[in-house]
Amino acid sequence: MRGLMMEYQLTVPSILRRAETLFGKKEIVSCLPDKTIHRYTYSDFAKRSKKLAVALYELGIREGDRVATLSWNHYQHLEVYFAVPSIGAVVHPLNIRFSPDDLSYIINEAEDKILIVDQVLLPLFEKFKSLVSVSKVIVIPQTQELIPKEYLNYEIVVASGDESLFQPFEGDEYAAAFMCYTSGTTGKPKGILYSHRSILLHAMSSLLGCCDIGITERDVVLPVVPMFHASAWGFPFNCTLVGATQVFPGPHLDAGSLLHLFQTEKVTLTGGVPTVMLSILNKLDSDPHKYKLFLRIIMVGGSAVPRFLVKSFDERYGIKVLHTWGMTEISPLGSSSITTSKLANASKEEQYDHAMKQGMPVPLVEIRGRNEFGFIPWDGVTMGELEVRGPWVASSYYRDTEPSTKFTPDGWLRTGDIVVITEDGFIEIKDRSKDVIKSGGEWISSVALENALMGHPSVLEAAVIAVPNEKWMERPFAYVVPKEGKTISFDDLKEFLADKFAKFWIPEGYAIIEAIPKTSVGKFQKSALREKYNKEHVSV
């Protein structure tokens, strides 16, 4: 017997409809490239998104077509996010930090029909323009300079759309709505296709109070995470669904500009990778009374959060750092390090320890871990590779020609993350499978060593890699960036680690470096460090 509920399709235009109907007067704020502030309402946003949708249809975009963006975080990008899926097409934000070669490869593989590009990013587009064959280029005007004649002006395109002709997509909720390439930290970028349904369910999940994120209409949300990185972790969708005020920083991602926006717009929730939040902490610490902040949560994910970041924000500024884990393949939210009732009477230090874990899977995401002996017990000790499944987890890659090793025969995604799982179902990532250090048959977690090193008062950043060793196969080697004006001795570092780890975990080799190389989304790029090491033959 079938249930008798309506067959209501979960689609992106339903988010737009809700925002327009209920939150018309709420604001969307953007810091533009020239640093002026643009404000308008959800009502203006919905109207313009619908006009854009109609105009794109008139330019030949049909269901399933891909429309790429090369844009910072701002209101026009948000309009594209909603206009394109609203006509059943697929919005495809490009990572502006990719090389021109990668960008042209991705655009050609995705077969993007139209490219919408920020005027300030035209110089980047010019670098690969001759290598791609998009049918039209639409430029978002941002400077006094004239837009070259061969391109369309975004504002003129929007103005040309007749809102009364808007017909929202009401087809199959499983249809593709959003395309995103992985940032390629450990290999060539691969395309992931989010569906209308997966976007809706992911948005609902991240709004749940039980994930400790719980965004509401009262929140003012500033996504530092770029809209080209896993749909800015879903913020544009979940914020629009609940009518939260949205604040976009545009290209101004330095700590000073962000802190200024946090203060002037009374931002209550922000999210980004740990490296960005570290720079914000350092800026705050340099003049702790300069800014008045209203933040209740800083959501951090993308790589492991250093313990001192959680502790410092809490102790010095009363702000909770919420540790989350995810992947582009998982839309991206997989787990969050929630505070359970078990921690009700825990000391602050215990709570900081707990925050190091990547957390409990969010509702509808299922987890298991596996090593060479089978599924790992949930004992918080046994390590294995994390496997996941759920309604917003990719089932395959776009145009994946080789048989993929990323999926198990029974359809779970192999994350490549080496974890332990506690008896309460909390995930703790020990490493990426490519980064874990295998020393004399034992696994050493580079993440744990990095975290500890970054807790040293003179260390700004630290990354630990595996280097070859005749006797032990591999040994840990640490690259360390001192804080400004500080010097570091290796003996001091060794001593600092000595009481925290088993002896064989302690790196014997260290090198001082000016900055840890970062990936296009701000993670430590260990492949670059491995190359550096190999080139320089630093002996351990």
List residues binding ligand ADP (CB under 6 A). Answer: 182-185, 230, 301-304, 323, 325-328, 358, 415-417, 429, 432, 521, 523
Asked if 212 and 322 touch (Cβ cutoff 8 Å), the reply is: yes
Residue type, 142: Q
Taking CA atoms, 208 is separated from 192, 363, 364, in Å, by 25, 9, 12
Residue 304 is classified by DSSP as P
Minimum Å gap between C-beta 247 and ligand ADP is 23
Active site residue 47: no
Taking CA atoms, 122 is separated from 3, 69, 236, in Å, by 53, 12, 24
Nearer to ligand ADP, 197 or 523 (CB): 523
Nearer to ligand ADP, 223 or 416 (CB): 416
Residue, CB closest to ligand ADP? 185
Minimum Å gap between C-beta 339 and ligand ADP is 16
Minimum Å gap between C-beta 366 and ligand ADP is 16
* β-bridge mates for residue 360, sequence order: 336
Asked if 107 and 171 touch (Cβ cutoff 8 Å), the reply is: no
Whether cis (ω within 30° of 0) applies to the bond prior to 332 is yes
| DSSP H helical ranges for 303-358 | 307-317, 348-355
**Residue 480: phi, psi to the nearest 5?**
-130, 135
Encode burial over 85-120: b for 16+ CB neighbours within 10 A, e otherwise. bbbbbbbbbbbbbbeeebbbbbbeebebbbbbbbbb
Nearer to ligand ADP, 51 or 323 (CB): 323
Nearer to ligand ADP, 19 or 103 (CB): 103
Tokens read off for 208: 């749940």
Minimum Å gap between C-beta 450 and ligand ADP is 11
Nearer to ligand ADP, 259 or 355 (CB): 355
Taking CA atoms, 4 is separated from 1, 7, 8, in Å, by 9, 9, 12
Question: In whole angstroms, what is the distance from residue 309 CA to residue 295 CA?
Answer: 15
Active site residue 438: yes
Q: One of 20, 173, 329, 385 is an active-site residue; which one?
A: 329
Minimum Å gap between C-beta 17 and ligand ADP is 30
Minimum Å gap between C-beta 470 and ligand ADP is 30
Taking CA atoms, 313 is separated from 289, 382, 496, in Å, by 14, 31, 23
Minimum Å gap between C-beta 300 and ligand ADP is 7
Nearer to ligand ADP, 76 or 324 (CB): 324
Question: In whole angstroms, what is the distance from residue 31 CA to residue 39 CA?
Answer: 9
Active site residue 508: no
Active site residue 290: no
Minimum Å gap between C-beta 252 and ligand ADP is 22
Question: In whole angstroms, what is the distance from residue 369 CA to residue 414 CA?
Answer: 9
Nearer to ligand ADP, 119 or 358 (CB): 358
- Tell me the pairing of strands 112-118 and 136-140: parallel
Q: One of 35, 188, 438, 486 is an active-site residue; which one?
A: 438
Nearer to ligand ADP, 332 or 509 (CB): 332
Question: In whole angstroms, what is the distance from residue 55 CA to residue 483 CA?
Answer: 52
Q: One of 11, 69, 182, 415 is an active-site residue; which one?
A: 182
Task: Tell me how far apart the terminal alpha carbons of the chain are, to the nearest angstrom.
Answer: 68
Give the H or E element holding residue 56.
helix 42-58
Give the DSSP per-residue string, 100-112.
Answer: HHHHHHHHHHHTE
The catalytic residue positions are: 182, 329, 438, 443
